[in-house]
Amino acid sequence: MKPARALLTMSIVAVLGLSGCKAPPGASTSTGTTPPTTAATPPENETADQFVKRVNDEYRAMYPELTSAQWLSSTYINDDSELVSSKANERYLAQLNAWIEQSRKFEGQKMSPDTARAIQLLKLQAAMPPPKNPKDLAELTQIATRMEGAYGKGTYCTGEGPAKTCRQLGDLEEVLAKSRDYDELLDAWQGWHSTASAQRKDYTRFVTLINEGARDMGYADAGELWRSGYDMTPAELSAETDRLWGQVKPLYEQLHCYAGTKLDAKYGAQRGHVAGHMLPAHLMGNMWQQDWGNLWDMLAPYPGAGSLDVNSSLQAQYDKNLAAETAKIPSDHSPSAMSQAEQDALLATAKQMNERAQDFYTSIGMPKLPESYWEKTQFIKPRDRDVVCHASAWDMNMSGDVRVKMCTKPTEEDFTTIYHEMGHVYYYLAYNKQPPLFQAGANDGFHEAIGDTIVLSMTPAYLHQIGLVDAPAQSNEALINAQMRMALAKVAFLPFGLMIDRWRWGVFDGSIKPENYNTAWWQLKAKYQGVAPPTPRSETFFDPAAKYHVPANTPYTRYFLADILQFQFYKSLCDASGYKGPLYECSFYGNPEAGRRYLTMLSHGASQPWQKTLKEMTGSEKMDASAVLEYFAPLQQWLKQQNEGKTCGWEPNAVTSAPPAPAKPAAPAKA
């Protein structure tokens, strides 16, 4: 995403952050306008309209330097890039404070609605509200950059001497996705979480500093600032998320119950190491239990009914690329030549996956991505340095330099993440014609929902059409399989999407104290997700920092809202395309009517309240989960049957019991 808008992105996210996935807001163009110098004192007698025009110009001018610095510190982690990046943030945030200060003189004055909205959005630009005290601001930007870099560098080592092996997040995630060995899973899960403990001190100080910034801006705390970006009061937003969760909770509970039964069958008594009928954190196929798709082997309702094995097809594509690369190297196949061939094959596969995603967007009438996207995107993990692998999409200059940063592997998860990231990119391109302060999502949930709406259109029929799976079977079994595949991503995610900011809202407002950070984290995991750690997690750990968005300070409620909104968008695009059948079978691939409707929404950016944008797109101005329930109706009915007679639900207050024989202790270590 981006800061102001763009700030939402990664590090920028940390800095700015109320809108997209990554990149900061507006920067000057690469086509050569001379950036205006920032006025130390604003012109006298400036009107509010003139003020907003000036801020937009200045913002656009300074934006590319900020994004470039952040791109470097995310794709080339070292002390120098950290220094440059935190200094660029500091300059930007000091400027933001100056603009906010200057805007005060227009309070209560008559001005155009657009100008009033722009001034309101100005105050919401930063997910990391800057303290006015320059020393504190400098400290804040240093901590922010350091925390994200530390996450990117995180490494877990075991063994000594020649037997020493070190693994980073990608390797450990692969263990969680593929292994079904209890102890191996425990080791990988604990290993990654051990890398986060050292972030506690920085995070605690970070909270103090952004709260200071929020108070300087007139908010009670940083959480209140985050909740203020939704064209409603912070309390209303909070109540909205409760209401939406209430709509989908019964569906999640059914899925939880079903997954628990399958885990019991697979792991027997070992699953019982966690109390209260909760799901053990290391057994769900994902480091944070936010997507259970990797447990397909265990959770497929009707194995063999309709092939949905996208992973195997992508792996086969990689193998083919590897064979082609290997054919180019000398026949002795030296380790370094082989390693290069593997890297080249990975890159070729990642580009093919991106082309596939672009093809969906162009099929509905969106433009091809600019050449620079293909030249400047980081498609795969470089071998020679540390990078922040967490996927993000960047608007570098508000005028066409858009990029993605990923460490792509040939998996279904990464394939859908590419479609997700491209949604951000197309949003950027569509709203680039808006003034910089309006270059953001209608709300940040919209930004996260654009690509995911396309993912809902990746039906078995679409996957077959693009050659990734066999022709879909027409049976109830195949339908339930297809629904389960989607539910393991979209339904499993819902409570996770909610709990992260429930934790941060509490941290920011002081109801969760530093000495209680980890305990409160697991209490919320238990309450919302029904997930528990496999071994007790005392306050010597700092498990929240094992999730990217915490050290990167990216707000998370956006993903929860997106998980709901995407079904609303999907339904209205299916309607626009003229589709008449059951919602879950719709794909608007190749339908320009759907694309036109979508582009109209995207091009508004944040220029009007999101309720208006939603109404234009869907006919309703309320976020609503009924499309989620409509979509999953067949699965929900099936789950009810499967769970009949089972003890469903969980006891969030149950004390975690230690397993009888813990696996090897996971000592945190850096390579």
Give the interface with ligand X8Z as residue ranges (CB under 6 A). Answer: 1, 21, 290, 391-392, 417, 420, 559
390 labelled catalytic: yes
By C-alpha distance, which of 553, 555, 556, 557 is closest to 209? 553
For every residue of 416-477, DSSP letters joined together read: HHHHHHHHHHHHHHHHTTS-GGG-S-SSHHHHHHHHHHHHHT--HHHHHHTTSSPPPP-SHH
Binding pattern for the stretch 16-55 against Zn ion, x by CB under 5 A and - elsewhere: -----x----------------------------------
Select 227 or 420, whichever has its Cβ closest to ligand X8Z: 420
By C-alpha distance, which of 212, 606, 663 is closest to 427? 606
Tell me the residue nearest to ligand X8Z as measured from the CB. Answer: 21
Letter string b/e over residues 262-287, b meaning 16 or more CB atoms within 10 A of that residue's CB: ebeebbeebbebbebbbbbbbbbbbb
Beta-carbon contacts of 594 under 8 Å, excluding residues fewer than 6 positions away, are: 364, 573, 574, 576, 577, 588
Select 394 or 541, whichever has its Cβ closest to ligand X8Z: 394
Q: How far is the CB of 402 from ligand X8Z (least distance, A)?
A: 14
485 binds, among Zn ion, ligand X8Z, none (CB under 5 to 8 A by kind): none
* Active-site residue, selected from the candidate residues 256, 390, 447, 604: 390
523 binds, among Zn ion, ligand X8Z, none (CB under 5 to 8 A by kind): none
Select 125 or 211, whichever has its Cβ closest to ligand X8Z: 125
391 labelled catalytic: yes
Integer Cα distance of 230 and 153 in angstroms: 34
Q: Which stretch binds Zn ion (CB under 5 A): 161-169, 426-434, 448-456, 522-530?
A: 448-456
Q: How far is the CB of 288 from ligand X8Z (least distance, A)?
A: 7
* Helix spans in 304-443 (H): 310-328, 335-363, 371-376, 412-431
On whether the CB atoms of residues 608 and 561 are closer than 8 A, the answer is: no
Q: How far is the CB of 299 from ligand X8Z (least distance, A)?
A: 20
Select 186 or 500, whichever has its Cβ closest to ligand X8Z: 500
Q: How far is the CB of 1 from ligand X8Z (least distance, A)?
A: 6
Select 550 or 666, whichever has its Cβ closest to ligand X8Z: 550
* Active-site residue, selected from the candidate residues 357, 391, 449, 545: 391
- In degrees and rounded to multiples of 5, residue 467 shows phi and psi of 80, 20
* Active-site residue, selected from the candidate residues 277, 447, 549, 604: 549
Q: How far is the CB of 452 from Zn ion (least distance, A)?
A: 8
* Active-site residue, selected from the candidate residues 256, 277, 282, 420: 420
User: Can you give 507-540 as a three-state secondary structure string?
Assistant: HHHCCCCHHHHHHHHHHHHHHHHCEECCCCCCCC
448 labelled catalytic: yes
552 interacts with Zn ion by CB under 5 A = no
Integer Cα distance of 343 and 348 in angstroms: 9
On whether the CB atoms of residues 568 and 318 are closer than 8 A, the answer is: no
553 binds, among ligand X8Z, Zn ion, none (CB under 5 to 8 A by kind): none
On whether the CB atoms of residues 306 and 478 are closer than 8 A, the answer is: yes
193 labelled catalytic: no
Q: How far is the CB of 424 from ligand X8Z (least distance, A)?
A: 7
CB atoms within 10 A of CB 61: 20
* Active-site residue, selected from the candidate residues 48, 421, 440, 449: 421
Q: How far is the CB of 406 from ligand X8Z (least distance, A)?
A: 8
Give me 426's structure tokens: 């197309």
Give me 190's structure tokens: 């604990």
Select 21 or 488, whichever has its Cβ closest to Zn ion: 21
* Active-site residue, selected from the candidate residues 90, 173, 325, 448: 448
* Active-site residue, selected from the candidate residues 193, 256, 282, 424: 424
Judged by CB under 5 A, the number of residues near Zn ion is 2
Select 286 or 643, whichever has its Cβ closest to ligand X8Z: 286
Residues at the interface with Zn ion (CB under 5 A) = 21, 448
Active site residues: 390-391, 420-421, 424, 448, 549, 559
